[in-house]
Structure 1
Amino acid sequence: MTLAPRARAQAIAARRGGRHTLAVPLALRLAAKIAERPWDAFLRDPTQLANGLRDLLDAVGPDGVPVTVPSVLTEERDARLDAALEATRRLRVTVGDNAVLVAVLDPDPGLIDTVRAFLDAGIDGVVLHGDVPAADARTIGNVTRFHRAMAHVLGPGSSGLPGAEAVALDAPVAKTGLVLTDGEVPDGTPVPLVQDWVGGVRS
């Protein structure tokens, strides 16, 4: 019997073993395209963001979706962060255990507070992009465990947190654990290509 995505996320977070896989394409731009919403407005409006990510789940069938990625928060950070947090709260209610919600974040001076805010909103996992100070990594590891959520790093670093797998969109291979595309999925990407990536990662 295959566990629901959220149960798999909690098993991965608890490091309970097993060969659990969560395929999460970094496809925010594709979600905006599917929803036919302008990119900037999509990122500032929690209703558009939540609806677009639900459309992505319906169209592609991944195990989860990213509610934000590092490039999103380089401009209009406060408005976009608020929208991502509210969209997380709404999606947590509507998707239940059937999809995981992931925030991919760059380390910054407010990182721990941002992680706490996403955990309070109902996120299933945070992925830290780049090098994270060891003290911050320990704190994030502790607070995510308390919430039964995943904490991973993506890219080089010696933070002590486990690494998320990054798999190329055009060359999917079977992996276990939390698996992301090796970059953001462009908005013009054909939906079947992303579907094939999800299937390839899970196989």
Structure 2
Amino acid sequence: MALSTRAKAQAIAAGRGGPGGGGRHTLAVPLAPHLAARIAERPWEAFLTDPTQLANGLGDLLDAVRPDGVAVTLPSLAGADGHREAALEATRRLRVSAGDDAVLVAVLRADLDDVKAFLDAGVDGIVLEGPADPGAERTIANMCRFHRVMAVSPVRVALDAPAPATGLVLTDGECPADVDTTTVADWVAAVRGGV
């Protein structure tokens, strides 16, 4: 029986699905917020701060590119006034609309309040970027284990040099603002090994 996308995320979270685990699951998640805004035909600032536009745009990205999931927030977006609240509400909405067919990943700085808020909103994975206090990292890892959420170091694969990989796989940075759907869809297919 094939596992749902969320079940694969839970297997990776439990250490059974990524590099070093017993299984070999791949979750290809491009970091493409600009593409999501363009697909939804929304102005960038409104896209970042309106939960309806953010949820709809990320949902449109899921439909257009068919990745295994989306990043609901990134550290580079955190500076936009109102983005955190919009991203949390968009996460709650996407959790319902995407069901088990897509994973929701929050890429964050190691801030306990932010991690807790996104865990409570329903993300499937937390990726920490930037320096973190070892004590905070342990606490975040424990919080993620409790919620059965991935808190793994993702595999990073370049958008312009995609290759098969296992585990949680992200683009090696945010996709350029002018990237097209075909390029991102090709990256997803290559990361999955052409599956």
- CA distance in structure 1 between the aligned counterparts of 2:151 and 2:85, rounded to whole angstroms: 21
Would you say the 8 A contact 2:141–2:151 is kept in 1? yes
Structure 2: which 5+ runs fail to align? 17-21
Equivalent of 1:182 in 154, 172, 175:
172
Q: CA deviation at 1:71?
A: 0.5
Aligned residues: CA RMSD: 0.9
Counterpart residue number, 2:131? 131
Amino acid at match of 1:10: Q
- CA distance in structure 2 between the aligned counterparts of 1:87 and 1:44, rounded to whole angstroms: 10
Equivalent of 1:195 in 185, 192, 195:
185
Counterpart residue number, 1:2? 2
Q: CA deviation at 1:75?
A: 3.3
Equivalent of 1:72 in 64, 68, 77:
77
Would you say the 8 A contact 2:49–2:80 is kept in 1? no
Q: CA deviation at 1:143?
A: 0.6
SS at match of 1:92: helix
Counterpart residue number, 1:116? 116
- CA distance in structure 1 between the aligned counterparts of 2:102 and 2:30, rounded to whole angstroms: 12
SS at match of 2:54: helix
- CA distance in structure 2 between the aligned counterparts of 1:106 and 1:113, rounded to whole angstroms: 10
Counterpart residue number, 1:90? 93
- CA distance in structure 2 between the aligned counterparts of 1:18 and 1:131, rounded to whole angstroms: 30
Aligned residue pairs total 188
Counterpart residue number, 2:19? none
Spell out the pairing of 1:164-179 with structure 2 (5 A cutoff). Answer: 164-179=154-169
Would you say the 8 A contact 2:48–2:80 is kept in 1? no
- CA distance in structure 2 between the aligned counterparts of 1:74 and 1:49, rounded to whole angstroms: 16
Counterpart residue number, 1:159? none
- CA distance in structure 2 between the aligned counterparts of 1:117 and 1:85, rounded to whole angstroms: 7
- CA distance in structure 2 between the aligned counterparts of 1:54 and 1:135, rounded to whole angstroms: 35
TM-score (norm 1): 0.90
Question: Is residue 2:43 matched to residue 1:38?
Answer: yes
- CA distance in structure 1 between the aligned counterparts of 2:79 and 2:26, rounded to whole angstroms: 30
Structure 1: which 5+ runs fail to align? 153-162
- CA distance in structure 2 between the aligned counterparts of 1:54 and 1:75, rounded to whole angstroms: 21
- CA distance in structure 2 between the aligned counterparts of 1:101 and 1:190, rounded to whole angstroms: 21
Q: CA deviation at 1:131?
A: 2.2
Q: CA deviation at 1:106?
A: 2.0
Question: Is residue 2:103 matched to residue 1:100?
Answer: yes
- CA distance in structure 2 between the aligned counterparts of 1:175 and 1:148, rounded to whole angstroms: 22
Counterpart residue number, 2:56? 51
TM-score (norm 2): 0.94
- CA distance in structure 1 between the aligned counterparts of 2:102 and 2:188, rounded to whole angstroms: 13
Amino acid at match of 1:46: P
Aligned residues with identical type, % of pairs: 65
